[in-house]
Structure 1
Amino acid sequence: MIFSVQRDVSKDPLTLSQVAELLEIPRQQILKTKLPLIDEPRFYYGDVMSLREEITTKDSDPLIDEHLGSGCTQYGLEFFQANRKRLGKIRMIAIYHDSINAAVDGYFVPHKGFVSGVGTPHLVLKDFEGKEIWLDGLLCGYGGEGPRGSYSLLKECGFSDEVARVVEYAPIVKVLQDEDGNVDVITRSGIETGNDQNKGIYLTDSGVLHSKSRKPEDIDRFLPHPKEAEVHIGEGERFKTLLIRDESGREMWIEASKIIADCDIEWHPLSIKQAKKTLISELNRFGFELDKGQKQTLFDIIDTKLSVKSLSRPEKLFDWMDAIIEKRKRQ
């Protein structure tokens, strides 16, 4: 690493639904109760607020379905019925069509049975004491066996038919309940895996959740609140990597080919200039706005690390590119 920058995520705007998910409290309770984490709920367009403190990661010791990874609805229901009495009154049920979104929400464990190394449930139950059960094979977002299993579980937990049927219509469903029995249902989209079962999301050797996805919508869902950016440049080598990290430790690497087209030549002044421009654009895209001094520091380091040396490319290509640069200078 040769350069790093941080940003304050504690004032990132959040929708009312996002706050409800983070605090696992029905939206109607948030609106009528002054909560210590909420800084005088500030509304923009009627539905946005910010948390005073940084978003925290989940810390639990869940009871995990022994068949996690099987995708079997019947196994999931049987495990729930065998262990239901271990939970008290249900506070939250989270259901995922693509289980990798459970990992993005913090529900994952290292698991050799998954290609990604990330063991994820399709359904999570949590009671008011914080105890959790993770189940597989109970899904949402379509009409089929998995959502029918989720519907059956919600009914067994005492939720109404109207609430239970929501599982057919959204790829992520969160059912929230307060102590008084008031129920709220939040639905949203998530990362769609398609044929890529883990969407390039995996665990590093150090246990950090990492993503290789390059789709803007996936990036926003994987790292909605980026906190730290690191620039990595190898000694005398090409521009290597931009690393983005959030407060929970999740990481995303923007590879060299994302910053500038890969090629088998040493650095040229025009390439260095383009790398700087694209790098600043990428940092801005993640909310890292460098001041004038920070930009100059970064650019000075890049100029030093990527100093132009004798070019190893063919001489004709060298002459051709220089001719283009000279022509642009004269324009």
Structure 2
Amino acid sequence: MDRRKKSGWTVIRWAAGAVAVLAVLVGATMPAMAPSVRAQAPTRAQAAQPAAPAFGPWVEAMPAQAAQAQAQARAQAAGMQPVGMQAAGMQAAGAQAAGAQAVGMQAAGAPAPAYAQAQAQALPALADPRVHGAQVFNGWAFDTCHTPALGTLTAWRSSRYRGIGVYYAGRGRACRHQPRLNRSWTRGAKKRGWRVLPIYVGSQPPCVHSKRKRKVAIRGDGWKLGRREGRDAVSRARALGMKSRSALYLDMEAYDPSRTSCARTTLAYIRGWDREARSHGYFPGFYSSAGAGVRHVEKARRSGVRDLPSAVWFARWRVKPSLKGEPALAHRAWTPHRRVHQYAGDVSEKHGGRRLRVDRNKVDAPVAIIER
């Protein structure tokens, strides 16, 4: 055999060997991913949902260390060790694909994969929302059905409250008529030293407990309705002088997430609303009962579902106010500066000679950024 042919065979052997090594590495990482990918094909509704953008002005992208932790959690759950740096990179990519599939699995009520449960504990906490331009308030707040007069806010400066929850929009509001609430009011509240937590009460879960709220239950495609009402939430907030990077809190009253069809529809609506608010540069928050909606989104978070709220406002009454130790939430979930605890409701208080019926809240979370 001449030197040219011998050289050619050497190149072929080298290439074949490289392909074999690559196949071994891929094979070592794929078994953990393949079962979850094949577990269930996406439904027609899920296939119609656009993929989450990889990055952007207001997308809380997964940092590199989180992707590595996710890959490591998958490997541990599958009973194997990561195979070098290249294998870890492949595992991270596989985890993203499996995480996308987990959306459909969770919506269908299927149990979360073992790796997703491990990853929920392995992933680092989200970034401080202030790095994204959010404005965080740490203190005490009240919310009340009708927006109080600015004179009342002046009188209530004698209390410990410095935050106020305002039901600013949404077809599900109990107090839809808000004659005082306008751009002048939000500016006046800001000048008086108040931080505003905007609350949007949109369509409610089909299995909502309140009979009055069933009149505004989600009908049809939850994702599309969530996107539509998310746009309305942003438009109404802008009209009141709430700037980009403001927090907007979606209010979902207590419901039964154990009812699979209702849970699927409700989660699709929440995700659609979050996606839309975030795409316009706003910080999507979520208010609900700790044992219902908050437990539901926490379960989705553990399953790797995307487009979830960036802050949670959980209602658990008749307990001491605390942002830590909530049984419905993992210790590091929605931290830092991403939690509000509503610890009492429908109580009467009087400050500076003005009386209101309010709900009481302890806050460490983003609020509205009001124009000057």
Q: Which has the higher contact order (CA 8 A, sep 6+)?
A: 2
Alignment TM-score > 0.5, same fold: no
TM bin, normalised by shorter chain, reads under 0.3
TM-score with structure 2 setting the length: 0.21
What is the TM-score when the length of structure 1 is the normalising length?
Answer: 0.23
